[in-house]
Amino acid sequence: MSGVRLAKATIGNKVAVPVEAPERILIVPWGDVKSTSGSFVIDDAAAASIIEVFAATGVDLPVDLEHQTVGGEYSSPDGAAPAVGWITSLEPVPGEGIYAHVEWTERGAGFIHNKEYRYLSPTLLHPVGSKDVRGLHSVGLTNKPAIVGMKAIVNATPKGTSMNERLERAKWFLNLEELATEEEILMKMEEFVAQLRELADATENADNAGVLSALKAKLGKAKADEECRLSVCKAVGLDETTAHAGIVAAVGALKAEPAKKTEPDPTEYVPMAAHTEVADQLKALHAELRTIQSETFLAKGRDKGQISPHSEKQWREKFIADPAQAEKDLTLVPEGTFPKPGRVTAHSSAQPAGGGDGRGSIIAEAKAEYGENQTTLPCSEKEYVDQALSEHSETLLTDQEVSTHSVKV
C-alpha cells in the first residue's frame, strides 16, 4: 500500500486490521497562524527559510512525543526522548501549509491507530524577540496542539475500519458514553446539527451546506464586529477587554463632556492693556512727527513766498491730514505769491506819529511800501501788512484796520 505505514494494534482480545498512518501530513498551516504560544506567519519567505535550514542540516528531523526532544520543561521523567517517526522531506504548498513526509516507527503508527495521539505540534525556530519563522526543530505528537484549529493527523475513517470502530469514533466525537446505542448517537448528531443551525440563524429546511455557509458568514461578521470593538476601545483609551456596556458608557461620557478650550500660551501673546499702551504711544509719536514735518513744510512755503502768515493754519491742518496732497497742492501756488520773510523794511524802532505806537508805525510803513510796489506784488495790502506784523511778533490787522485797497490778482 503506497504512502502509508502499516501497524497492528490490539483492541481488547482482537488483533485490529492494519491502520494507515499517513506518510504525508500537514505540520503547520499557511498564512496568519494563531497559537496559544504566540501567533506567527507562514508565507513564501518563512517556507523558503524552513526548507533551506532543513536541507542545510542534512539529517532527518524527529517526530517525538509531547516535544520531548526540546528538553527542559518538556523532558520525560527519565530524560529519554525517543522518536516515533522521522521527517525525511518537507513540501510547502502555498495557501495550505507545509507538509512533512514521515517514516513512522511501529510504535508511532500504533499511537495513531489506537487514537492515543491525534494531532501534531511543530517546534519552530525564530530569532529571540521576533516572530519571523526561520526553521523547524522537530514535530511532536500531542493531544493539545498549540495551533488553533490544527487538523487531526487522520480526519477520515481509515479504509477497512469496521462499523464498530466507526461507532466508537462517533461516540468519542459526540462525547457519549461507551454504552451509547446507535439511536442515541443519531439523536445526539441531530441535536448537534440543530445547535449549529441555531447558531447560524439558518432556516429549518437548510441543508448541511447551507448551515455551514450561514455559520461562516456569521463568524465573519462576528470577527468584523470584534475588530470594530477593539478599534473603538483604542480610540477612547479603554482596555481591549472592556465589555460592550463599558464602551457605551465611555462614549456617552465623551459626548457629554464639553469641548476643551485650548488655553493660550501667555509667552506668545501681549496683554491687551500693554498692546493699547504701545499703540497710543505710537500714535502720539506719529502725531508729533507729523507736526514737526508740518513746520518744515510751512517754513519751506514761507521762504518761497507760497504761504502767507494768515494761511499757515490752513496749510498746517492740510499737511497733517495728508502730507502728500499738501505737497502737491503747494506746487500749484507760484513762488513769490506772498512777501518772503524780511521783505518789509519797517521795524520796531520806528517812531509812529502822535506817540510811541510801534505797531502803528509798522502798519503805516508797510502800507506805504505796498503803495509804492503794489504793481509788482502778487498779494493784497492786508496780506503784505500781516506779513510785516508777523515778523515783528505783532497781532495781525483787524477788520477796522483793513484798507480799502482791493486784492491784487
Return the pLDDT at 325.
93
How many whole angstroms separate alpha carbon 203 and alpha carbon 218?
14
> Within a 10 A sphere around the Cβ of 367, how many other Cβ atoms?
20
Return the pLDDT at 155.
57
How many whole angstroms separate alpha carbon 303 and alpha carbon 336?
9
How many whole angstroms separate alpha carbon 291 and alpha carbon 302?
16
How many whole angstroms separate alpha carbon 295 and alpha carbon 308?
14
Residue ranges per domain, the chain?
4-160, 272-330, 345-409
Phi, psi of 75 (to 5 degrees): -65, 150
Sign of CA dihedral 182, 188, 192, 198: positive
Output the average pLDDT for the chain: 79
SS3 call for 14:
strand
Cell matching residue 265: 500660551
Mean pLDDT of 79-107: 92
Compare 127 and 358 and report the one with higher pLDDT.
127
Q: Are 19 and 109 in contact (CB under 8 A)?
A: yes
Sign of CA dihedral 378, 381, 384, 390: negative
Compare 172 and 295 and report the one with higher pLDDT.
295
Cell matching residue 54: 532543513
Return the pLDDT at 41.
92
Q: Nearest CA to 245 among 260, 229, 259?
A: 229
- Cα dist. 99→92, 153, 364 in Å? 6, 12, 134
Return the pLDDT at 356.
43
Beta strands 97-104; 85-93: pairing state:
antiparallel
Per-residue pLDDT reduced to its tens digit, 287-327: 888 889 989 998 888 888 888 777 788 888 989 999 999 99
Confidence of residue 375 (pLDDT cuts 50, 70, 90): low
pLDDT cut 70: percent of the chain above it: 82
How many whole angstroms separate alpha carbon 32 and alpha carbon 199?
26
